[in-house]
Amino acid sequence: MQKVILYVLLFFLPVGYSVTNHKDSVLLTSATSECEKLYIDMHLENIVNYAAFEQAFIGYNKVQEKNRDIITLIDFTKPSTEERLYVLDMKQKRLLYSSLVSHGRNSGENYATSFSNENGSYKSSLGFYLTESTYEGKNGYSLVLNGLERGINDRAKERAIVIHGAPYSNPSVIASGRLGRSQGCPALPQALSKPIINTIKGGTLLYIYADDHKYLAQSNILSSYTASL
């Protein structure tokens, strides 16, 4: 009886449609529903851009190297004068931190609009990273980032792109019209840098978002997302 029903369904499916396509569609719909539910459960409406959260959610589920249920999302569609870094506990369904964060000096003025993986570009790089160890450097307490996407951010270590605190990222700087800018690092306000670094260090995921079509076309991690667009 089940076979008869299946044959009948296949007869009425559009030309070129396959059961495999249907399964992929069902899986994608299920993942989208789970993402929407988590977004609502975490009370992120009017705080976090849903498209940014959805892409971060896909990466969070795809990147197996992470060893904790925390993801940091940076939304570069927002200006530097607004909080645009979010530390999210996906298991406990909590927003742990919301903070200002800088972008690279050659990525733009108040908005980050240009991105690069090249040495000496002084631009931010998009995509997914894993956090590693901490160290004391010229910018104080800092967190090493490992870029996971080839050709997009995999030169992060070579470029010394790390998370650190900086006076040019403090809220008082906003009076000048924008936050100060880095050489490509996501620099935090000094009062928040240490607690945030200690929360996300040691194998959590970081995603830097910018609604950038060039990035989406290159990203292997978000290939299932781009295929659905």
Query: Does some domain include residue 127?
Result: yes
The number of helix segments (H) and strand segments (E) in the chain equals 6, 8
Contact 106, 203 (CB under 8 A): no
pLDDT digits (tens, 9 = 90+) for 167-212: 999 999 999 999 999 999 999 999 999 999 999 999 999 999 999 9
For 85-95, how does the pLDDT look when each residue is reduced to its tens digit (9 = 90+)? 999 999 999 99
Q: Would you say residue 32 lies in a domain? A: no
Contact (Cβ atoms closer than 8 angstroms) between residue 155 and residue 117: yes
Which range of residues forms the domain containing residue 156? Answer: 42-227
Q: Is there a domain that residue 23 lies in?
A: no
Report d(CA 176, CA 170) in Å as an integer: 12
Half-sphere exposure (Cβ direction) of 166: Cα atoms closer than 13 Å:
23
Is 129 a domain residue? yes
The answer to the question of residue 95 being in a domain is yes
Any domain includes 125: yes
pLDDT band per the 50, 70, 90 thresholds, residue 224: confident
Mean pLDDT across the chain: 90
16 falls within a domain: no
pTM: 0.86
Number of structural domains the chain divides into: 1
113-151: per-residue pLDDT in tens?
A: 999 999 999 999 999 999 999 999 999 999 999 999 999
79 in a domain, yes or no?
yes
The CATH number of whichever domain residue 123 belongs to comes to: 2.40.440.10
